[in-house]
């Protein structure tokens, strides 16, 4: 368990710091760049994914902190879950807490990747990508586990 904890802390710190440094650059150093397919353009998201719940702008940071606290309590009570999912947990916490810090620091989440070739896509950031990656890893592991259990049940039958 110590190895998993050390690795998850390392992943968390690296992802969190990279995301915050890049966001600082966009928010304070005008790093905007326009490209033919994708642009790097500062935007603030006052809601959650695709700006949903923007009407909760001032309360979202507190709601999200409560959700992180509840998730942390769940992991403390279920260390086997953390041991199985320590990498996606680290990615999820790094991305989530980085976006929450933006809400306290900038008033909204700092976004900057803007895809606009063939279709316009929502503006997003590294933290969002890490959160999505964490969800994909969790789903992949769940599907894999389900298939293994199904095989085991077929062998027993």
Check residue 114 and give its pLDDT: 93
Check residue 57 and give its pLDDT: 77
Give the separation between CA 102 and CA 115, rounded to whole angstroms. 22
- pLDDT band, very low/low/confident/very high, at 117 (cuts 50, 70, 90): confident
Query: Do 16 and 98 meet the contact criterion of CB atoms below 8 Å apart?
Result: yes
Check residue 157 and give its pLDDT: 66
What pTM value is reported for the model? Answer: 0.90
Chain segment 14-57, per-residue pLDDT in tens = 999 999 999 999 999 999 999 999 999 999 999 887 677 788 87
Asked if the model's pLDDT at residue 65 lies above 80, the reply is yes
Catalytic residue set: 111, 128
Q: How many other CB atoms are there within 10 angstroms of residue 154's CB atom? A: 8
The mean pLDDT of 124-145, rounded to a whole number, is: 97
The torsion region of residue 91 among left (phi > 0), alpha (psi -120 to 50) and beta comes to alpha
- Among 93, 84, 87, 128, smallest CA distance to 109 is for 128
Give the separation between CA 93 and CA 72, rounded to whole angstroms. 10
Chain segment 67-102, per-residue pLDDT in tens = 999 999 999 999 999 999 999 999 999 999 999 999
């Amino acid at each position: 368990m110590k190895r998993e904890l050390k690795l998850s802390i390392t992943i968390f710190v690296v992802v969190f710091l990279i995301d915050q440094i890049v966001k600082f650059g966009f928010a304070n150093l005008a790093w905007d760049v326009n490209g033919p397919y994708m642009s790097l353009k500062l935007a603030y998201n006052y809601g959650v994914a695709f700006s949903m719940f923007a009407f909760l702008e001032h309360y979202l940071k507190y709601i999200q902190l409560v959700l992180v606290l509840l998730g942390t309590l769940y992991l403390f009570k279920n260390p086997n879950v953390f041991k199985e999912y320590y990498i996606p947990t680290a990615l999820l916490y790094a991305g989530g807490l980085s976006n929450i810090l933006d809400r306290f620091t900038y008033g909204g989440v700092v976004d900057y990747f803007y895809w606009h070739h063939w279709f316009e896509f929502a503006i997003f950031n590294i933290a969002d990508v890490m959160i999505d990656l964490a969800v994909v890893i969790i789903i992949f592991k769940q599907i894999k586990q389900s298939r293994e259990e199904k095989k085991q049940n077929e062998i027993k039958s």
